[in-house]
Structure 1
Amino acid sequence: MSTTIGNRNLFQRKSLIGMVHVRALPGTPMNSLPIEEIVSIAVKEAKQLEEAGFDMICVENMHDTPYLNRNVGPEIVACMTVVCHAIRQAIKVPFGIQILAGANKEALATAFATGASFIRCEGFVFSTVADEGIMNSDAAELLRYRHAIGADKICIFTDIKKKHSSHSLTSDIDIAEMAKAAHFYRSDGVIVTGISTGQPADENELVAVRKAVPTSQVQVLIGSGITPSNLVHYWDNANAFIVGSYIKEDGDWERPIDMERARAVVAAANALRQ
């Protein structure tokens, strides 16, 4: 049964969300490709994930290391808009956007302009010491901005206990309380991750989060470390599973998509659905 969030019935079933890691964009240290080639690669990968059977796509500027903290340049927003518009024309499944690091308003504007269904955002509640530096809560500003531009139908999925971060500032607040705070601040979904990219989430933390938020109002997503073999351990307590590293060649997020690996994740999900 689908659950209404962000004024949308986005999850018609437990869903797999495949990552498109956009090649390094103009102006970033690792950029070496013209925007036309960047767009072509991103579109190819989105189509591959749709062909493999993923329910949704998430588009992210993962190769733009090192990331700016919140304030990315206008060239990043413009290029991500071009990439996402091309992807929207090429696929039929819903897609979402994340702009690193913590550029949540920019992601929302890009999503609104390109017909995306959701954004993934960092720093929604509390303060985090991320590898980009201190990132403070932007929930109030972000949701006001969403309403102001008429983008209320775009879901906002929020990382809690964000990966690649120290949580010493909030060490007295466990992940369940963070989930409750995200719900109170009107997050459409909370994302549970491991400590870094490709690392599995803690199953006990997932259970605690699922118990902490109302299932009719808040979706729970797994944001890292999903494989065909461990999917079963998270299946009952999550609504969606974001898969990035595993579906790449040799499980390396920087490499191209491996269709055999992508299909293996889908096959595992289909077996669990039955």
Structure 2
Amino acid sequence: MQRFMKVFGQQTCKVIGMIHVDALPGTPRYGGNWKQTIEKAIFEANLYKKHQLDAVLIENMHDIPYVPERHLGAEIVACMTRLAREVRSVIPKETPCGVQVLACGNKQALAIAKASQLQFIRCEGFVFGHVADEGYTDACAGDLLRYRKLIDAEDVLVFTDLKKKHSSHAITADVNLLETSHAAEFFMTDGIIITGTATGHAASPEDLQQLSGKVKVPLLIGSGITKDNIKSYYKDAHAVIIGSHFKKNGNWLKEISDQAVEDFMREICKLRNSS
């Protein structure tokens, strides 16, 4: 918890805004305009800066269909590093920035964070194996944290998804969420991310309450947060990661809506002022 507080401060329920960068070179949906991809990421970073979000997370979510980590090309790391540096230059120095590389590009994300002076990564497959739509995902905690040590990136926080969305967890059906959380905590996670079953689907408030007070690491909600349901998570969540709700019509494929961000931040300010 001390590592989290050192980076994010004491305020309850931090708001982390997603920047879903356009499809990168070499992926099926790449539009052929790299300059435009950079400019769009900068535009969205400035929008989050305008509304004073607590943190920003960039992700290559448009690189569908995703490939396993072993097939991620050098161009993805290079392009995400460039985008991360551009975003980091826009966001105030005191505001944490992070990165996620799909799918399961956790070492790549650490390298990007190191090179771009980011403060955290979002990691898939930290503990326990599972089957995702891009294939089998094996646990990576031991290898990942050794790599973090190797590249002198121990100041980069690793937030880890549990029972990850878009995945089958039949092979670990006998390991409940709390037991999985204790395993991630034992394996030195810097924060646990709880999600719904898919992008934009709300995480269960009951899942959050099941873990609240039973683990010593921060709890983050990684999907489905809106201005209408934030009250259900505000008390127990140390942070919420928001992507879809900030987009037009709540669709992650659309552009960010300035009004949606403004409305949500107004609601979170009300909760903070009343607590």
Q: TM-score, normalised by structure 1?
A: 0.96
1:166 is matched with 168
Aligned pair partner of 2:110 in 108, 111, 128: 108
Aligned pair partner of 1:143 in 133, 142, 145: 145
Residue pair 1:56, 1:94 contacting (<8 A) in 2 also: yes
RMSD: 1.1
1:18 is matched with 17
Residue pair 2:51, 2:265 contacting (<8 A) in 1 also: yes
Query: Where does structure 1 lack aligned partners over 5 or more consecutive residues?
Result: none
How far the C-alpha of 1:253 sits from its partner, in A, is 0.6
Query: Secondary structure of 1:109's partner?
Result: helix
Residue pair 2:195, 2:202 contacting (<8 A) in 1 also: yes
How far the C-alpha of 1:264 sits from its partner, in A, is 1.2
How far the C-alpha of 1:52 sits from its partner, in A, is 1.6
Q: Which runs of 4+ in 1 moved over 4 A?
A: none
Residue pair 1:50, 1:56 contacting (<8 A) in 2 also: no
CA offsets, 1:148-167, max 9 Å, x none? 11111100000001000000
For residues 127 and 160 of structure 1, the distance between their equivalents in structure 2, rounded to whole angstroms, comes to 11
**Worse-matched range after superposition: 99-108 or 44-53:** 44-53
Aligned pair partner of 2:127 in 82, 104, 125: 125
CA offsets, 1:204-248, max 9 Å, x none? 11111223311xxx1100000000010000011110000000100
1:179 is matched with 181
Residue pair 1:122, 1:162 contacting (<8 A) in 2 also: yes
1:95 is matched with 97
CA offsets, 1:184-215, max 9 Å, x none? 0000000000000000001111111223311x
Residue pair 1:6, 1:152 contacting (<8 A) in 2 also: no
How far the C-alpha of 1:33 sits from its partner, in A, is 3.2
Determine whether 1:262 maps to 2:261.
Answer: yes
Identity of paired residues, percent? 42
For residues 117 and 7 of structure 2, the distance between their equivalents in structure 1, rounded to whole angstroms, comes to 15
Aligned pair partner of 2:197 in 181, 195, 198: 195
How far the C-alpha of 1:268 sits from its partner, in A, is 1.2
CA offsets, 1:125-147, max 9 Å, x none? 00011111110000000001101
How far the C-alpha of 1:12 sits from its partner, in A, is 3.1
For residues 7 and 212 of structure 1, the distance between their equivalents in structure 2, rounded to whole angstroms, comes to 18
Query: Secondary structure of 2:244's partner?
Result: coil
For residues 8 and 132 of structure 1, the distance between their equivalents in structure 2, rounded to whole angstroms, comes to 35
Determine whether 1:37 maps to 2:36.
Answer: yes
